[in-house]
Amino acid sequence: MTLASRGRAVTVVALLLLVGVYVRALMFTPLERFQGAAQKIFYLHVPAAWSAMLAMGLVGLASVLYLILRDARFDRFAAASAEVGTAFCVVMLTTGPLWARPVWGTWWTWDARLTLTLFLFFLYIGYLLLRQAVTDPGVRARYSAVLGICGTVLLPFIHLSVYLFRTLHPQPIVLKPSAPSLPGVMLVTLLYSFGVFTLLYVGFVMQRYAVGEEGAHV
Amino acid sequence: MSEVIPQNAGYMVAAYIVTAIVVLAYALSLYRRTRGR
């Protein structure tokens, strides 16, 4: 069984579990009384944000390892993770405004969390464009690694921006020093969705890595 | 005074549809690129 076919199998399982997230979130998780149905966007938005950040974190880690070990597999992994992270970033940046419009009364506001998240998206796009623009594999890997590390440096600022700046964005409800502040049934749905989005990330990266591996042998 | 839950399900439906489209489109793109491997 090749890496690509294993990645496809993981993706199919993750997609089936994602159907479960939809069913659980829409039919078996109660409405939040102040935000109404729009609050349920949270079960997709937050895990998508988690996957986008996980992806960039692993791009940075693989980039550091590439610069130290000069092993092309780390560069291929970083490229795969960046592309997958871009897809999750698109989900995060579309579901966020769809939640903000009914709850805040505006699609977008230039506060620290939202602006830094948009910057992360631009970094992803810049990373992918850089890889397309540089033809020499060694130079491409080195330049991409530097940009990947820069992207990773952004992550703590995004996470802490709600503490460091005055912002409309809600504070973390799960990834925080104290216990999660959600009713149990909502927390279970959220954690289930976290797991599914992480599995989707794994399946996507396995497939995308296989595409890069093939390109490296041409 | 009774509380009124906001009626904003349209935004939720839009978000769930957009997510499904992005995820399925990317999954399909990867499937096409890895087909036969």
Give the ipTM: 0.92
pLDDT above 90 coverage of chain A, percent = 83
Beta-carbon separation of B6 and A22 below 8 A? no
Question: Looking at the whole model, is its pTM more than 0.90?
Answer: yes
**Of A48, A36, A143, A114, whose CA–CA distance to A86 is shortest?**
A48
The maximal CA–CA distance of chain B, rounded, in angstroms, is 64
Residues of B within 8 A of A87 (CB-CB) are 22-23, 26
Tell me how far apart the alpha carbons of residues A61 and A152 are, in angstroms, rounded to a whole number: 8
Each of the 218 residues of chain A gets a pLDDT tens digit; together they read: 899 999 999 999 999 999 999 999 999 999 988 899 999 999 999 999 999 999 999 999 999 999 999 999 999 999 999 999 999 999 999 999 999 999 999 999 998 999 999 999 999 999 999 999 999 999 999 999 999 999 999 999 999 988 888 877 887 777 666 777 788 899 999 999 999 999 999 999 999 999 987 766 54
The DSSP bridge partners found for residue A36 are: A32
pLDDT above 70 coverage of chain A, percent = 95
pLDDT digits (tens, 9 = 90+) for A21-40: 999 999 999 998 889 999 99
Q: How many angstroms separate the CA of residue A201 from the nearest CA in chain B? A: 10
Helix (H), strand (E), coil (C) string for chain A = CCHHHHHHHHHHHHHHHHHHHHHHHHHCCCCECCCEHHHHHHHHHHHHHHHHHHHHHHHHHHHHHHHHHCCHHHHHHHHHHHHHHHHHHHHHHHHHHHHHHHHHCCCCCCCHHHHHHHHHHHHHHHHHHHHHHCCCHHHHHHHHHHHHHHHHHHHHHHHHHHHHCCCCCCCCCCCCCCCCCCCHHHHHHHHHHHHHHHHHHHHHHHHHHHHHHHHHHC
Look at the block and give the residue holding tokens 């939809």: A22
Q: How many angstroms separate the CA of residue A39 from the nearest CA in chain B? A: 8
Pick the residue of A91, A197, A199, A214 with the most B CBs within 10 A to test the interface with B by mutation. A91
pLDDT digits (tens, 9 = 90+) for B16-28: 999 999 999 999 9
pLDDT digits (tens, 9 = 90+) for A171-207: 777 766 677 778 889 999 999 999 999 999 999 999 9
